Amino acid sequence: MNIRYTNEINAVDWQQVSKIIRDIGWGERSPEELKSAFQQSSFTRFAYVKNDLVGMGRTVDDGKYYGWVVDLAILPEHQGKGIGTYILGELEEDLKPFLSTMLTAAPGKSGFYEKLGWVKQTAAYIWPRSEKQKRAFTENC
């Protein structure tokens, strides 16, 4: 399968980004707010099959010391094809000059990152915004 990767942000269909986020179970995020968030990210990657956006990822960083990989998300029907691995590798490469590169695994996804050599932190904390969020990050990780 021919998969095209790009960091070209101007041609992105934000409705489709919003759909991907919804389809993987992260709930509703508006196309406009997603566009704004991605535009404020130093590094982004989008994966296309033919002309269809099937996955993406981006970073959050301070431009110098700390960088996080966030919103790595692949359409369910295109998962398991190496797309997540590829995008993650590219973003990690983009963040190489930084002091550290971090990410928070979504519940149940630790295995994906550990397989690729990411190391689980033992001292990472999150301020829980809700009981649901607290459970999500303390169970089944």
Ligand X SMILES: CC(C)(COP(=O)(O)OP(=O)(O)OC[C@H]1O[C@@H](n2cnc3c(N)ncnc32)[C@H](O)[C@@H]1OP(=O)(O)O)[C@@H](O)C(=O)NCCC(=O)NCCS
- Which spans of this chain sit near ligand X (rule: CB under 6 A)? 24, 72-74, 79-85, 105-106, 108-109, 111-112, 115
Nearer Cβ to ligand X, position 35 or 109?
Answer: 109
**Are 88 and 95 within 8 A, CB to CB?**
no
Which of 127, 131, 103 is closest to 117 using CA atoms? Answer: 103
Shortest reach from residue 17's CB to ligand X, in Å:
13
Shortest reach from residue 78's CB to ligand X, in Å:
7
Nearer Cβ to ligand X, position 27 or 111?
Answer: 111
Q: Which residue is nearest to ligand X (CB)?
A: 84
- How far apart are the C-alpha atoms of 71 and 12, rounded to whole Å? 15
**Are 87 and 70 within 8 A, CB to CB?**
no
Nearer Cβ to ligand X, position 24 or 102?
Answer: 24
User: What is the bridge-based pairing of β-strands 100-103 and 3-6?
Assistant: unpaired
Shortest reach from residue 104's CB to ligand X, in Å:
6
Shortest reach from residue 74's CB to ligand X, in Å:
4
Name the residue with tokens 């110098």: 64
Nearer Cβ to ligand X, position 10 or 25?
Answer: 25
Residue 36 has, within 13 A of its CA and on its CB side, a CA count of 5
